[in-house]
Amino acid sequence: MSVSADTIVAIATPAGRGGLGVVRLSGPQALAIGQALTGVAALRPRHAHFAHFRDAEGAVLDEVVATAFPAPRSATAEDVVEITAHGSPVLLAALVAAAQARGARLAEPGEFTRRAFLNGRIDLTQAEAVRDLIDAHTLFQARTAARQMQGSVAAALRPLHRRYTELIARLEAGIDFADDDVTVAADGWISAEIAAVGAAVEPLLSSFQRGRTVREGVSVAIVGRPNVGKSSLFNRLLASERAIVTAEAGTTRDLVAEPMDWEGVPVRLVDTAGLRDPKGEAERLGIQKSWEAAADAHLVLAIFDRSQPLSGDDHALLRQVRDWPLVLVVANKCDLPAGAGPEATLPEAALPISARTGAGLAELRAAVRQMVAPDVSEGAEFITNARHAQHLAAAAAHLQHAGAAAQAGLPHEMLLVDLYDGLHELDAITGQTTVEDILGVIFSTFCIGK
């Protein structure tokens, strides 16, 4: 795989109007084109140059700031020039067109980051982390992506890769010295070492479940009979009057869903219609959607009115939640006196809250965070990318096959076939061994200016 010799250009800031916009150039002609666009005779490395961008007739179109980053100390390891102008789409498009007229071509999606990878500036996991950082919806996601941009995934793989290659080297040496009747590795050691390498893969692979939660988020559905405070809790958690709240039962007829940051985990919070015998076709359809939302959710918040005795609808819901995998029973309206009689009793684990006053909301947030992401904490390392997990799973399968072959006493040449295949899977994570098709899929999801 080789890097194109073209000089590329693109707008590196989001589409639309803004206070400032950045046009980025990368390639062998970046410095010359940047100087021509700004009229600066010589762009000093990493120095901001105030300049003017002019049209073909020489009239000033904008005041700009140009910064040059000569190779190899740049984002792409090529000559890079960034020109900051006012964020008018017309001006930025004119800058790009002027660069193209001087020999640059428009960059493809993700081509700047792709060049950084192909030039050895970053590995493939770091390149993918760039996209994850841009797509982050929570600060926790951003911190995780930032660590991966610094090479945390490659660092976690490094000891495993070293041990794996040492195992292969010992087996290769055994084959090379076979004619000299020299025993390089006993069969028992080979089996134990294959098992040890496989055991080292397992924690990384199993961490993907936590990583997927951080990267993709979870769905949390609020269910309960009418007027127990579902919409009030929904609005309180969002800190916004998103759902209509009235004293009339059955106000919510359809699902209302909003994304939110729940203690660092991205959550899709869903408010549902009250569960009861429907009073019409519209309400029946809304209740059907409520059950579907509960079935699809990662976690269900089953809400009950603590100030009233439990109704038949409440008891029906309590029976239903026993079959759901992840449910948190919530006793709302704890700011009011508890309902009288034995029927007011809720499960001991029910969490008392008040959607009206906010009492118990901190405990609710902590309880939900613990239920949906119990092992996810600041600074923890885990696999967040499905592609990485697929390669780890394939490597684990090859190791298992090699272990079975070793136990069966097959020749070392047979073991090495699986071991090399497994090592190839590990290398594909960081991009040490990869193909154009894989790169095309990965970088096509980037924006043009990255």
> What residue ranges define each of the domains in the chain, with the CATH number in brackets?
8-123 (3.30.1360.120), 133-207+383-431 (1.20.120.430), 215-372 (3.40.50.300)
Q: What pLDDT is recorded for position 434? A: 54
Q: Between residues 241 and 324, which one has the greater pLDDT?
A: 324
* CA distances, 363 to each of 95, 225, 236 (Å): 53, 23, 14
* Of residues 439, 446, 444, 423, the one with CA closest to residue 387: 439
Alpha-carbon radius of gyration of the chain: 30
How many C-alpha atoms does 445 have within 13 Å on its Cβ side? 12
Element (H, E) at 48: none
Q: Residues 165-187: what's their mean pLDDT? A: 68
- pLDDT, one tens digit per residue, over 297-312 is 899 999 998 888 888 8
- pLDDT, one tens digit per residue, over 377-399 is 666 778 999 999 999 999 999 99
Q: What pLDDT is recorded for position 246? A: 47
Question: What is the CB neighbour count within 10 angstroms for residue 196?
Answer: 12
Question: Could you tell me the pLDDT band of residue 441, with boundaries at 50, 70 and 90?
Answer: low
State the DSSP string of 349-417: TPEE--TTT-TTHHHHHHHHHHHH-TT--TT------HHHHHHHHHHHHHHHHHHHHHHTT--HHHHHH
| pLDDT exceeds 50 at position 18 | yes
| Strands, E assignment, 369-431 | none
Helices (H), 280-338: 281-296, 312-321
Alpha-carbon distance of 75 to 58, in angstroms, equals: 32
Alpha-carbon distance of 81 to 373, in angstroms, equals: 43
* Of residues 13, 27, 7, 5, the one with CA closest to residue 449: 13
Q: Between residues 84 and 16, which one has the greater pLDDT?
A: 84
Q: What is the mean pLDDT of the chain?
A: 85
Pairing verdict, β 351-352 and 8-11: unpaired
- pLDDT, one tens digit per residue, over 145-161 is 999 999 999 999 999 98
Q: What pLDDT is recorded for position 1? A: 54
Q: At what angle do helices 139-149 and 208-216 cross, to 10 degrees?
A: 120
Tell me what percent of the residues of the chain surpass a pLDDT of 70: 87
| pLDDT exceeds 50 at position 341 | no
| Strands, E assignment, 88-189 | 105-106
